[in-house]
Amino acid sequence: MIHQIVAPTVGESISEVRILAWSKQNGEYVKNGETVAEIESDKATVEVIAESNGTLKILEQAGEMVGVGKPIAQIDDTGVAGTSASAPKAAVANGTATASAHGATATAPVKSGTHDLEGQSPAVRKILAESGANPADISGTGKGGRITKGDALDQAANPRPKTIGRAADSEIKTKDQPGDRRVPMSLLRLKIAERLKQAQNNAAMLTTFNEVDLSKVVELRKQYKDKFKTKYGVGLGYMSFFTRASTLALKEFEAVNASIDGTDVIYHDYVHIGIAVGTDRGLVVPVVRNADKMSFAQIEQAIVDAAGKAKTGKLGIADMSGGTFTVTNGGTYGSMLSTPILNPPQSAILGMHNIVDRAVVIDGKIEIRPMMYLAVSYDHRIIDGKEAVSFLVAIKKRLENPEELGLEFKKEI
C-alpha cells in the first residue's frame, strides 16, 4: 500500500512551504515515527514524520517550494526493508535525482541562469515555456541555486531582471564575480528582513537611553541563585528581573503596551512579552504570555523553554504570535549600546546590553559599580517622548531598588 506524505499545515495564513532537507534518501527504508524531512515557513521549521514503515519515494527535492497539503513523498509498505521499491538511493543532498520505477527520466541539477529549458524540471519547464520568461533572469532559490516552481511562477507573474536578493524593491543588476558565493535567503531570514523594513517604513521610530546600576540585582543573584536553582530547578537570571520590571512599568504606561491598527489604538489589559533569541537560522521572538501574572520562577522556566524550542527549531506559529512588548539582550554578545528595531505591530522594545564595571559618582564619591546601558525604541505616533523616557526611568528605578519587584522567591526559599 502507498502512503502519501504531504507538506504539513504550519499556520492559517501560510499556503506554501520550502523543503529544507531530507533526512532519509530516496529508496531508503524508514520506520513509523522517524523524521524524514524538515520544512520551513517564514516563521518556523517543522519536522515531517513518517506515519508508517516502508520504502521512501521522494517526490519533491530539497529547496523546492510546495503547497501545503501537496504530496512531497510516498511510503510503500510492501517493500522489503533496506531495498528500494522505486529507485536506487539518490544523493539527494547534492541535488541529483534518479530514474523512478515508472520510467521517469532523471533530472540533473541545473544552474540558475541557464537558457536551456530542457535542463529544468518538468513543472518549471512548462511555466517558463508558457510565460516566455527567461531563465537567465531568475535567481534560483532551490538547492545550489536551482530554479524552483515558485521561482518560475514569481517571474512569470512579475517579470524582472535578475536582482540582488530577489528584492521586489531593488532593480540593481548584479553579476557574480570570481570568489562570490550565492546562497538563497531562508524564508525566516526573508521574513525578518521584511518585518524590519516594515517597522522602519511605517513607524515614527525613536530611541531613548538611560543607564542602570545593577549592584543590588547582582548581589541578589549571588545570594539566592543556588537556593533558587535547588527550589525551582531553573537558574535565576537577569532576564526575570528585567521582565518583571518591564511588566510593572507597562501597567503604569499603557500606551507602551499598546499597538496601532489603522486609525485606532488598541490597548491591552495583559502583557505578552517577546524574548528575542538568537539562533543559527536568525533571530526569533518567542512570546511569554501573561508575564505580568508570573512569578520569577515561572518567568525563568518560560524563557528556558522558549529558548530551547527556538534553538532546536521546534517553535510553532503560536509560540511567536501575540506579543505586546519585546525585550532583547544584545549584552549576551558583548554589545555596549544599540538602537533596537520595533517588532510590529508592537509600539516599543527594550534593549539590554552588557554589564560593565564603571566609575560612577555616588553621594559625592567615586565608586566602581556594575552598570548597564538601556535603550527603549518606540513608535512616536502613539508614545510621546516624555512617556518613553518616564517608562525607561520606571524600569531603572525598580532595578536599582529590586524590593519593588516583589521578589516572592525570598519568602519561598
Report angle CA 166, 170, 175 to the nearest 5 degrees.
65
Return the top range by mean pLDDT from 44-58, 118-132, 367-381. 367-381
Residue 102 has pLDDT above 70, yes or no: no
Task: Out of 8-12, 202-206, 372-376, pick the least confident.
Answer: 8-12
CA-nearest of 98, 94, 110 to 146 is 110
Active site residue 213: no
Q: Per-residue DSSP letters for 269-328?
A: SS--EEE-EEETTEEE--EETTGGG--HHHHHHHHHHHHHHHHTT---TGGGS--SEEEE
Percent of all residues in the chain with a pLDDT value above 70, rounded to a whole number: 80
Residue 184's pLDDT is 78
Residue 69 has pLDDT above 70, yes or no: yes
Eight-state DSSP code of residue 255 = G
Beta strands in 330-364 (DSSP E): 348-352, 356-362
Position with higher pLDDT, 15 vs 51: 51
Task: Out of 107-111, 205-209, 288-292, pick the least confident.
Answer: 107-111
CA-nearest of 52, 50, 51, 44 to 17 is 44
Q: For 194, phi and psi rounded to 5 degrees?
A: -60, -45
d(C-alpha 17, C-alpha 11), whole Å = 10
Contact 227, 411 (CB under 8 A): no
Residue 79 has pLDDT above 70, yes or no: no
Confidence category of residue 190, pLDDT binned at 50, 70, 90: confident
Residue 106's pLDDT is 36
Residue 110's pLDDT is 40
Annotated catalytic residue within 77, 116, 226, 380: 380
Q: What is the pTM of this model?
A: 0.63
Confidence category of residue 62, pLDDT binned at 50, 70, 90: confident
Position with higher pLDDT, 334 vs 117: 334
Domains and CATH numbers, the chain: 2-94 (2.40.50.100), 117-184 (no CATH), 192-412 (3.30.559.10)
Confidence category of residue 294, pLDDT binned at 50, 70, 90: very high
Residue 163's pLDDT is 44
Residue 114's pLDDT is 40
Amino acid at 217: V
d(C-alpha 276, C-alpha 285), whole Å = 4
Confidence category of residue 111, pLDDT binned at 50, 70, 90: very low
Q: What is the mean pLDDT of residues 5-23?
A: 79
Position with higher pLDDT, 105 vs 266: 266
Q: In Å, how far from its chain's centre is CA 218?
A: 31
Residue 272's pLDDT is 97
Position with higher pLDDT, 61 vs 397: 397
* C-alpha cell belonging to residue 103: 520510467
Q: Per-residue DSSP letters for 148-166?
A: PHHHHHHHHHS----BGGG
Return the top range by mean pLDDT from 120-124, 150-154, 186-190, 399-403. 399-403
Per-residue CA distances from 351 to 210, 211, 325 (Å): 11, 11, 11
Amino acid at 242: F
Pairing mode, if any, of strands 348-352 and 325-329?
Answer: parallel
Task: Out of 173-177, 300-304, 330-334, 392-396, pick the least confident.
Answer: 173-177
Active site residue 384: yes
CA-nearest of 126, 121, 122, 151 to 136 is 151
Confidence category of residue 357, pLDDT binned at 50, 70, 90: very high
Q: What is the mean pLDDT of residues 53-71?
A: 90
Annotated catalytic residue within 77, 176, 226, 384: 384
Residue 145's pLDDT is 63
Contact 304, 324 (CB under 8 A): no
Position with higher pLDDT, 326 vs 148: 326
Residue 159's pLDDT is 63
Residue 82 has pLDDT above 60, yes or no: no
Residue 164's pLDDT is 40
d(C-alpha 26, C-alpha 78), whole Å = 16
Q: What is the mean pLDDT of residues 357-368?
A: 96
Confidence category of residue 42, pLDDT binned at 50, 70, 90: low
d(C-alpha 191, C-alpha 127), whole Å = 26
Within 10 A of 290 (CB to CB), how many other CB atoms are there?
Answer: 13
Report angle CA 294, 298, 300 to the nearest 5 degrees.
120
Residue 94's pLDDT is 37
Percent of all residues in the chain with a pLDDT value above 90, rounded to a whole number: 51
d(C-alpha 369, C-alpha 389), whole Å = 23
Contact 373, 354 (CB under 8 A): no
- Alpha helices by DSSP H, listed for 159-214, are 187-202
* C-alpha cell belonging to residue 22: 531530507
d(C-alpha 47, C-alpha 7), whole Å = 10
d(C-alpha 290, C-alpha 236), whole Å = 19
